[in-house]
Structure 1
Amino acid sequence: MSINLPSNIQVAQRVHAIEPFRVMEMVKAAGEMRRSGIDVISMSVGEPDFTAPDIVAHAAMEAIKGGITQYTDSLGLRELREAISGHYASVHGLDIDPRRIVVTAGASAGLLLACAALVAEGDEVLMPDPCYPCNRHFVSSFGGKPVLVPASAEDRYQLSGAHVAANWNDRTRGVLVASPSNPTGTSMTPEQLRAMLAAVRERGGFAIIDEIYQGLSYDHQPVSALAIDEEVITVNSFSKYFSMTGWRLGWLVVPELLVPTFEKLAQNLFICAPTVAQQAALACFTPEALGIYEERRREFQRRRDFLVPALRELGFKVPVMPDGAFYVYADISALPHAQANDSTAFCWSVLKEAHVAIVPGDDFGFAAPSRHVRFSYATKLERIEEALGRLRRLLGR
């Protein structure tokens, strides 16, 4: 898209390094079809179909009614930081000092703060390919160079210690990984995480670990990177497990020595995270809310357990079972379809002919994106079943 500006205004060069977010083009096209009366099933957007439970919404309304809407401390409400600390203790058995917790305006703001603090002009940051596209753009925005390392199904599509050793050079400063991952839904095993962090630590680098989907883990108890190395920076969010996407609230856990750095950046870049959202989030840790979230987690698992075998039956290759988040990263190369070697064309065909919205692999990196598509199962099971029926008809299965 061209931008018409007065002749004396130039867009900063960093903008040109940021590619369009193609999933949003698919979402926009699906929306236009819906407005024209077509029933489109969305399996594209990474957003839970659940919203905040009533107890959380009620807490927000009470804050507004009570006039509790002014700025908070830049690091976040003390009570919320203590509640998050308590959550680490109950879920992971970790004793995290609340002073190390930085409440942010969503996980995106947390990643921006981490890159602002750690990435200098020309620094290289390793991340797996495929990965969430905005992660590499966060690095680019601060003058860094994201280095995408092809990761295979054998690696669970994750960065390994061997990858770090093979790709580290004089310009490398650290790694940015997500576990569970978008788009693959796969987590690092504890052994894989330990080996990767050890390889980074040996080289004096930083590790930023995105754990925003960790609450949505299905086959095992998730292991936070903080249980392995207290010097890592972890990113988390109220968007996914806690069903608060539009509330824009997340948090970081940072090493104690870096707290003043992050506080200074937060004060200047964001002032604070949304106050009403912080007040509402306190209710997320009540027994009532946690019971609701656990039932929702089990519902996501039911959807996964239906979708993956059904896709494999249709001819999609899913070589590793996704164990978290709500994504399936599937290989289309063996499908009986004219566009089975072009995931973008395939996704547009699926949208226009079957009225199902899925996402091509182009957004997520450069390792065989034309062979891969991402399904999101953040929609009702009956709609997923209908989507599979439409795909079956499209593929002649």
Structure 2
Amino acid sequence: MASLSPFELKDELIKAAGGGAVERPANLAMLNAGRGNPNFLATIPRHGFWQLGLFAMRESERAFAYMPEGVGGFPKREGIEERFEIFAREFKDTPGTGFLAGAVSYVRDQLGLNAGDFLYEMCEGILACNYPVPDRMLKLSEIIVGQYLRREMIGKHPFVGEFDIFAVEGGTAAMTYIFNTMRENFLISPGDTIALGRPIFTPYIEIPQLNDYQLEVVNLDADVANRWQYSKKELDKLRDKKVKAFFLVNPSNPPSVKMDDESLQYIAEIVKERPDLILLTDDVYGTFADDFVSLFALCPKNTILVYSYSKYFGATGWRLGTIATHRDNVFDAQIAALSKDKRAILHKRYESITTEPDKLKFIDRLVADSRTVALNHTAGLSTPQQVQMVLFSLFSLMDTPDAYKNALKRLIRNRKAALYREMGIAPEKEDENQVDYYTILDMEYLGGREHGREFVDWIINNTQPSELLFELAKEARVVLLPGRGFGTPHPSGRVSLANLNESDYMQIGRAIRKLMDRYVKRFHEATGKKAK
């Protein structure tokens, strides 16, 4: 089982937590802290979605009002803004209507877009009565989501130029599409070397090893003793010209720590020396951080930005994600500089969708490849998904005091405090880079700090990988994921702080403390020594 992905091992741990001969109180429910799926969600933009749907249905029924058989038509652009104002007044006390009215005002007055065009795009989108056009992303939707990404990923950092966005089915689809299009366009080839910033979301470790890619991997390891930051020695591995790309999750998964300003700047300096280096940053947890700045902000021309709405808005089932690239980027430049033979292969690949395939941008190649090129005309994220993405974005943009963000931070940080308090472990000193969506219980670091190095060595030498996690599952019905599957250097367990209630984390903390006390006792009996 040590060879299993942590997400597959989780299923075995759940089985262990659900059965066995150990007698348990009837009210002892399984506590699965292995999943990152949050148990909170944004209600206001969802209310807005349903009210928008009702307004859009009115618009549809107007078109074919003479037909009683349940036949509607497309909404009409002319007069739609005035009709919405009537709707908003009529349902002003219904949850979501006030938010929608505010969103229309914000789009018109703050973003400078035409309110009628916005309402028409949203109505047509939520009715899903037309193909996504443009297929990469609906026109005004891309502008609004772009403003959200600017606020959350770039912030106050200077940023020159514009970027394009491809709306995709969550962060996992983004990963799949990017790896595939980079391979198809010879940006990576079998035998090439990429760098991974570890710990990292497990698929980034597993995908390069597949027969589809056969990539060599150089690991850049963040260190728990260094507050999960990369040392300059690790980052210097990017100076090696054989490293074609650097993939990272920021803030990290599972340590849940954002890269500090010094490290971001150090990478930017390396990119100046290596303008050919491709960066891919997955910043799904960035919205939980204080004053987050993405690597995309510092190195926009070299960076592919992946962002998912899943965690921050509690929308994993919606499958909402984005890929963003600067309009002046190294990916297009590297494709243009390929050999004549390779350019001929790509010309033939894309010639059915454009009269100038050589000029097709990398991000539009992503769109085409997502439908194996031949089905490019039916590419694009479903339009109701894009509408919800837009409403989430507007909800955040309109929340100028960050009330929603601060509430989520408070929620997960209170859970972390409860967990550590019941474990009997003092939390680390305050770290401005700590995000706390997850916490990683590092056996060598925390175990050594609390019980001494001899105890840690005895544990490592006398237990199998994940043995403590299985004991925790069998005896306390608590499920954690093994940190090793994410590339952590030490035996550890990942605790999601997003998917259970505070009282549950207190229970998990007590179960961990009970388990460790038992191992401390075994250590004493086996060695005759007392733990620290």
Q: TM-score, normalised by structure 2?
A: 0.62
How is 1:348-363 mapped onto 2 (pairs within 5 angstroms)? 348-363=470-485
2:283 corresponds to: 211
Shift of 1:300: 1.5
Q: Hey, what's the Cα distance between the residues in 2 that align with 1:48 and 1:23?
A: 16
Q: Secondary structure, in 3 states, of the residue corresponding to 1:149? A: strand
Deviates more, 1:331-340 or 1:155-164: 331-340
How is 1:110-259 mapped onto 2 (pairs within 5 angstroms)? 110-115=174-179, 116-117=181-182, 118-140=187-209, 141-166=212-237, 168-203=239-274, 204-217=276-289, 220-231=290-301, 232-257=303-328, 258=332
Is the contact made by 1:113 and 1:265 (CA closer than 8 Å) also made in structure 2?
Answer: yes
Equivalent of 1:391 in 512, 523, 530:
512
Q: What is the identity, as a one-letter code, of the residue corresponding to 2:37?
A: E
Q: Hey, what's the Cα distance between the residues in 2 that align with 1:361 and 1:53?
A: 33
**Kindly, what percent of the aligned residue pairs are identical?**
18
Pair 154,193 (structure 1): closer, same or farther in 2 beyond 3 Å: farther
Q: What is the identity, as a one-letter code, of the residue corresponding to 1:253?
A: A
Q: Secondary structure, in 3 states, of the residue corresponding to 2:323? A: strand
Q: Hey, what's the Cα distance between the residues in 1 that align with 2:5 and 2:19?
A: 22
Shift of 1:281: 1.6
Q: Hey, what's the Cα distance between the residues in 1 that align with 2:230 and 2:367?
A: 29
Is the contact made by 1:106 and 1:239 (CA closer than 8 Å) also made in structure 2?
Answer: yes
Deviates more, 1:90-99 or 1:75-84: 90-99
Q: Hey, what's the Cα distance between the residues in 2 that align with 1:56 and 1:179?
A: 27
Equivalent of 1:284 in 392, 412, 428:
392
Q: Hey, what's the Cα distance between the residues in 2 that align with 1:354 and 1:345?
A: 14
Shift of 1:164: 3.4
1:305 corresponds to: 417
Shift of 1:27: 4.0
Q: Kindly indicate whether residue 156 of structure 2 is the aligned counterpart of residue 93 of structure 1.
A: yes
The CA RMSD measured in Å over matched residues stands at 3.3
Is the contact made by 1:248 and 1:274 (CA closer than 8 Å) also made in structure 2?
Answer: no
Q: Hey, what's the Cα distance between the residues in 1 that align with 2:34 and 2:488?
A: 19
Q: Kindly indicate whether residue 35 of structure 2 is the aligned counterpart of residue 45 of structure 1.
A: yes
Q: Hey, what's the Cα distance between the residues in 1 that align with 2:233 and 2:514?
A: 43
1:332 corresponds to: 443
Q: Which has the larger radius of gyration?
A: 2
1:22 corresponds to: 6
Shift of 1:233: 1.8
2:168 corresponds to: 104
Equivalent of 1:376 in 480, 496, 499:
496
2:383 corresponds to: 275
Q: What is the identity, as a one-letter code, of the residue corresponding to 1:198?
A: E
1:75 corresponds to: 136
Is the contact made by 1:103 and 1:251 (CA closer than 8 Å) also made in structure 2?
Answer: yes
Shift of 1:154: 4.6
Deviates more, 1:94-103 or 1:229-238: 94-103
Q: Secondary structure, in 3 states, of the residue corresponding to 1:74? A: coil
Q: Secondary structure, in 3 states, of the residue corresponding to 1:254? A: strand
Q: Secondary structure, in 3 states, of the residue corresponding to 1:282? A: helix
Deviates more, 1:301-310 or 1:177-186: 301-310
Is the contact made by 2:309 and 2:315 (CA closer than 8 Å) also made in structure 1?
Answer: yes
Shift of 1:32: 7.5
Shift of 1:62: 5.0
| Deviations 1:273-307 (CA, angstroms, capped at 9, x unpaired) | 23222111221134488544542232122223333
Pair 166,284 (structure 1): closer, same or farther in 2 beyond 3 Å: closer
Pair 274,39 (structure 1): closer, same or farther in 2 beyond 3 Å: same
Is the contact made by 1:159 and 1:196 (CA closer than 8 Å) also made in structure 2?
Answer: no
| Deviations 1:333-379 (CA, angstroms, capped at 9, x unpaired) | 436798565451110111111111111123112623xx221111112
Pair 382,359 (structure 1): closer, same or farther in 2 beyond 3 Å: same
Is the contact made by 2:45 and 2:395 (CA closer than 8 Å) also made in structure 1?
Answer: no
Shift of 1:331: 1.7
Is the contact made by 1:208 and 1:233 (CA closer than 8 Å) also made in structure 2?
Answer: yes
2:362 corresponds to: 261
Unaligned runs of 5+ in 1: 2-18
Q: Secondary structure, in 3 states, of the residue corresponding to 2:196? A: strand
Q: What is the identity, as a one-letter code, of the residue corresponding to 2:503?
A: E
| Deviations 1:115-138 (CA, angstroms, capped at 9, x unpaired) | 332422222111123221111233
Shift of 1:89: 4.2
Shift of 1:225: 1.8
How is 1:53-64 mapped onto 2 (pairs within 5 angstroms)? 53=43, 55-56=45-46, 59=49, 62-63=52-53
